[in-house]
Chain A
Amino acid sequence: MRNPTVGKSLKLTSVSGRSILKRIDWLSVFIYFALVFIGWINIYSSTFIDEQSSIFDIGTRYGKQLFFIGVSLVSIVIILALEVNFYERFSSIFYLLSMVSLLGLFVFGKTIAGATSWYDLGFFNLQPSELAKVATALALAKYLSDIQTDIKRRKDQFYALLIILVPAILIIPQPDPGSALVFFAMIFVIFREGLPLYYLVILLSLILIFVITLMFGTVWLIIGLALMIILLFTLKRKSLKIPVIPLSLISAAIILFSLSVNFVFNNVFEQRHRDRFGLWLRLEKDPKKLEQIRKSIGYNTYQSEKAIESGGFFGKGFLEGTRTKGDFVPEQDTDYIFSTVGEEWGFIGTATVIILFTVLFLRLISLAERQKNAFARMYGYGVISILLIHYFINIGMVIGILPTIGIPLPFFSYGGSGLLFFTILLFIFLRLDTNRLKESF
């Protein structure tokens, strides 16, 4: 990484503080660099064409990504150099600015591949939804850590949810449902801070009913429900009274929801959405038709699964991935970058990446939990939620256990805004962590 810009900025840090470098969590920093490095290697491999030259060639995808790694390094230096209470103090303003930038897309946005998600800044395209992730995490932490906020109160629950919902609602019409989904992950933050458990139970139940309805149909759902109620009545202790009215209300709600799932699935969803779910839940029973779907709508997933499978245990080796070279997996340097890891580095490579991410997440949780300052802790959880949902949905999609939802793999996928804002997101937290011993800023 002998980027001249980086060299100059490093000198700048040494002024502001040795102590930061001493106190920063080097394990997280190390994993961050490891992931960025592995990511770049795989972008290099999936976009490499024999006749091309220098890795610094800005005309190539890997050259461009290398440039953004440099920019990210600069941003790390700046983040670490800034006053630690800067982030908390200005979080509301960041949030407002990012919402304005999301709104601005409706007027000035640039459309790429059908989604108006970018600002054209000449040398690169800025994706404000990436900025919004950082700003929302900050704003949510700020709101929840406020001395006057009590998450047990309905009103405060509502406001906290509103902070998450506003950017999501602004992003959906771009359309970019994948990115919008990411914001919902921040419910974890509120949950960690005391959101009643039943919110989570309701959410999970809804997902469960959705899946059961699609897989088995409403009729079987009702039969199952009836069986469970009968079981409840036969097995209960005599002394126990069952609240009949709430039970029947809940049952009615479940059936109603199931029916509405059917309605939405058949009338609101488009065929491609239906096919994606059909593929994911293996709804199509005819193996020939299933194969058909796999090769058309499920083409990406099919190719990526095959590429990963063909890697075997040891992989085919760096630049030896035949399917990668042949460009068979679409979007391979962005959303499907993990399939390159699978093909060229085999199970060893994929397991390494999974373990690195897992260690990073667990480390970040322990960092968050050791914060004395509530804002830092909540922001930490925000960071973990955002990174985790990206990681979960992206790899889940690439290895074929989740439906196709196009969001990038943090630190890995090609894309300037993505890498920059994931870096900023993480390093703001690491910067806050360097200050953990002080009660307040």
Chain B
Amino acid sequence: MRKILLSLIIVVIAITFLGRLSYLQIFSFSAEQVLEDPAIKAIYDYPERGYIYDRNGHLLVGNDPAYDVMVIPREVKPLDTLEFCGLLGIDKEKFIEKLKKARVYSPRLPSVLVPQLSKQDYAKLQEKMRKYKGFYIQKRSLRYYDTPSAANVLGYISEVNEGDLAVNKYYVQGELKGRTGVERYYEDLLRGRKGVQYIQKDRFNRDIGPYKNGALDTLPEQGKQISITIDKTLQEYGELLMNGKRGGIVAIEPATGEILSMISGPTYDPALLVGRERSKNYTKLYNDTIANPTWDRSIHAQQPPGSPFKTLNALIALQEGVLDENTTIQCYHGFYVGKKKRGCHCGGGLRNLNKGISQSCNAYFAGAFRKIYEKFETTDEGMDVWEKHMRSFGLGDYLGYDLPFGQKGRIPSKEYYDKWYGDNRWSSSYIISNSIGQGEILATPVQLANMTAAIANRGHYFTPHILKKIEGKDITEPKFTEAKHTTIDPKHFEPVVQGMADVYVSGTARWLQIPGIEVAGKTGTAENFTKIDGVRTQLTDHSVFVAFAPVDDPKIAIAVYIENGYFGSRYAGHIATLMIEKYLKGEITLKTLEKRMLEKTLEAEYAKPYSGEEFKINERVW
């Protein structure tokens, strides 16, 4: 026993050691360790981020060199501080404080002393730089915006955060990544691929040569230059018109689905989110929760569409054969639901399809809506058919455009009302508001523009999109180049289009005519409510307008939604008309309208709910 005990101990130790070593070296080992190895440092070579151009080849976003003054505290030799501070444009106290901070961070590693010098300061400094040991200038690339507009479409870039790092292994701390808009959606195209060089380091972080003689190193891949469908001139003009107004404008080229402009008001200059003032500006924008400039209303704001929606109900009624263009419905300056009267501003009388649209008659469409449901034995069936037609226009769901965010809008289904009222306990009278685009229907400006494009195309649309070209080549993605057909036969569109054209001739927007251009449009005035101190309060109606032109060969379809702008023909109608003229003619003849839009703001209107006092709504403004 005594003799073998020691041998036993030796064998047990050997087994323990071999067990532990096989655990470490065989089971825990993973080939990816190269990247965690503190002895191997990856040095990245960043390609320039791709430029973004507009549809006509005008530059929207480029890059600008920026110069950071760097310091390696250990290598700093005594220097003429006063002169150096003069060159840097900072005072001595700040300089000393920054140097101290850098030393605390690491005496050996470079820190940024002064970020983002201007080109002028850089030029002055560069000549004298060699006098100052331990300091050097590092060139960086910043986004440069050649337009003060389209911040919502272009998006911005910022440093990757913990979440990004966990999701995508490509990024490392400190790298930039598209956050919103095109910068985010086409991040992979714009970014390119960084090159990498592995360097062997010692524990003092000093280079001691390339790792494996550079066998694993890669070259950078350039970022792609892209063109987007936005028309820079139109976009900038639209943002001018949006001055002091909240809402969204979306213009689409019906023949392609290309988004010509996408405007959200209020907006901000994209250059604010670049450079030294970035975080200050971002906080300011982000904290403005009332005007909400970072919230892209063109794709996020879900609002009741109002009267433009009548055009779709007309199409469905024609498709289902429950009326033709000669069918008339009596308007009693309104219509009755049971014993309750709902108002109408159209002037009353016997209305047909054309007058119903051009005069925006509520009674006519309530009647048409009832007829659609009466065709079927049960309300459920009617609801299903109605919903199917509506959805075929891209409403009630994400459209599939190439922007990272968006909202679905809402087209209610029978399940929706079953939940609300109970199974079989509702009928078309309960949901009669849907006939005039109020009720439970919600749509975003981009959905309204797309719907208008579908009408302009007489029955089909192309998924709205932002990307036009990659490196000069047109995109070929079938999702954007193949037409989506609505469930309405093309022949039913003509009477509706005629009604919309008459809106400009004899209807609700007759004073907005553009000389020489035939426009088809539809006004909308959407009631809306908010809660003030818990009390449901009505606010001034939203002003809505959809239009396309020219009627026979549509080049532009547009939807304008102006919050609390009152009648559709006012703010929204004005802006839509001006945009169409600007796009088709390149100049404005409707000077009065333009002047009004550039000058009038709705700030006073928006201040009302926050004033704490009683206020009037739907006031006459001009």
Contacts and interface: CB of A to CB of B under 8 A. Distances in A.
Given A362-B7, A395-B17, A328 B25 contact: no
A133 interface: no
Nearest to B202: A326
B200 A326 contact: yes
A351 B21 contact: yes
Contact of B21 (A308, A310, A322): A308
Contact of B24 (A188, A194, A309, A361): A309
Interface in B1-34: 2-3, 5-7, 9-11, 13-14, 16-18, 20-22, 24-26, 28-29, 31, 33
Interface string A363-393: 0010001000000000001001000100110
Contacts of B211: 322
Contact of A347 (B5, B26, B40, B201): B26
B21 A399 contact: yes
B37 interface: yes
Nearest to B38: A328
Contacts of A362: 7, 10-11
A308 B203 contact: no
A311 interface: yes
B466 interface: no
Nearest to B9: A388
A305 interface: yes
B26 A388 contact: no
Contacts of B28: 309
B72 interface: no
B449 interface: no
Given A326-B202, A399-B21, A358 B14 contact: yes
A61 B20 CA distance: 30
A370 to B, nearest CB: 12
B108 to A, nearest CB: 14
Contacts of A396: 17
Interface residues of B, number: 34
B38 A323 contact: yes
A325 B29 contact: no
A128 B14 CA distance: 30
Contact of B202 (A310, A325, A391): A325
B580 interface: no
Nearest to B39: A326
Contacts of B208: 50, 325-326
A400 B22 CA distance: 13
B209 interface: yes
Interface string B193-235: 0000000111100001101000000000000000000000000
B207 to A, nearest CB: 11
B45 to A, nearest CB: 21
Contacts of A391: 13
Interface in A291-337: 305, 308-313, 322-323, 325-328
B25 A312 contact: yes
A167 interface: no
A354 B202 contact: no
A395 B21 CA distance: 10
Contacts of B24: 305, 308-309, 342, 399-400
B203 A388 contact: no
Contacts of A350: 21, 25
A39 interface: no
Contacts of B2: 191-192, 194
Contact of B10 (A194, A305, A322, A358): A358
A357 B16 CA distance: 14
A381 B26 CA distance: 35
A322 to B, nearest CB: 4
Contacts of A194: 2
Contacts, number: 103
A203 B226 CA distance: 77
A392 B12 CA distance: 11
A17 B37 CA distance: 55
Contact-residue bracket for chain A: 35 or more
A50 B210 CA distance: 13
A163 to B, nearest CB: 20
A401 interface: yes
B215 to A, nearest CB: 12
Contacts of B200: 322, 325-326
Contacts of A361: 10
A384 B203 CA distance: 37
B18 A326 contact: no
B39 A328 contact: yes
Contacts of A418: none
Nearest to B2: A192
A350 B2 CA distance: 30
B25 A354 contact: no
A213 B609 CA distance: 69
Of B14, B21, B28, B211, most buried by chain A (CB within 10 Å of CB) is B21
Interface string A172-215: 00000000000000001001101000000000000000000000
Interface in B40-89: 40
Contact of B25 (A342, A369, A395): A342
A327 B10 contact: no
Contacts of A355: 14
B31 to A, nearest CB: 8
Interface in B123-172: none
B37 A323 contact: yes
B6 A309 contact: no
A358 B25 contact: no
B6 A192 contact: yes
Contacts of A388: 6, 9-10, 13
B38 A354 contact: no
B29 A323 contact: no
Interface in B93-107: none
A367 B16 CA distance: 25
B21 A365 contact: no
B18 A311 contact: no
A310 B33 contact: yes
B10 A354 contact: no
Interface string B282-311: 000000000000000000000000000000
Of A342, A354, A381, most buried by chain B (CB within 10 Å of CB) is A354
Interface in A70-118: none
Contact of B26 (A313, A326, A395): A313
Given A342-B21, A395-B17, A326 B7 contact: no
A416 interface: no
Interface in B538-583: none
A369 B202 contact: no
Interface string B464-475: 000000000000
Contacts of B39: 322-323, 325-326, 328
Contacts of A347: 21-22, 25-26
Nearest to B208: A325
Given A326-B39, A326-B203, A358-B11, A399 B20 contact: yes
A392 B203 contact: no
A334 to B, nearest CB: 16
A328 B39 CA distance: 8
Given A327-B203, A342-B21, 10 more contacts: A50-B209, A313-B26, A322-B211, A325-B200, A326-B39, A326-B200, A354-B14, A354-B17, A365-B6, A388-B13
13 contacts: A191-B2, A310-B29, A311-B29, A323-B37, A325-B202, A342-B24, A346-B25, A347-B25, A362-B10, A365-B10, A384-B6, A399-B21, A401-B16
List of 4 A-B pairs having minimum Cβ-Cβ separation, nearest first: A326-B39, A322-B39, A347-B25, A312-B29
